[in-house]
Amino acid sequence: MAVTRQPGKYDASEFQTGLCDVCDDLGTCCFGFFCHCCLGCSIASDMDECCLCGTVWTIRSVYRTRYNIKGSLLKDYCTYMCCSVCATCQLKRDIDRRKEQGIF
């Protein structure tokens, strides 16, 4: 039988972790929960954006567009309005994974 999917591969059109996958990276989760603004600045720095942009929904849209991740402006907005900490942590986890894979 031919191998059609390699271990560790992911669907490039999706975020690599789920919105509430806090156990994938407890450090990022704690960082986001206890210092949400600092995590946002870290994300903005990773993306060469202004520090003030890191915790707003538009940074997620910019990131999605850059990496061809499925979604919409409305979905990004609703995600941040419902749980900005989870959305910010998910974005940071994705950035970190892409850095590890050499595709960031």
Half-sphere exposure of 54 (CA within 13 A, CB side): 22
- Which residues, at least 6 apart from 17, have a Cβ–Cβ distance to it below 8 Å? 24, 25, 90, 93, 94, 97
Do 45 and 51 form a contact (C-beta atoms < 8 A)?
yes
Helices 57-66 + 36-46 axis angle, to 10: 30
H or E element that contains 84: helix 73-101
| Contact in structure between 36 and 55 (CB atoms under 8 Å) | yes
More confident residue, 12 or 7: 12
pTM: 0.86
How confident is the model over 30-84, as pLDDT tens digits?
Answer: 999 999 999 999 999 999 998 888 888 899 999 999 999 999 999 999 999 999 9
Residue 7: pLDDT over 80 = no
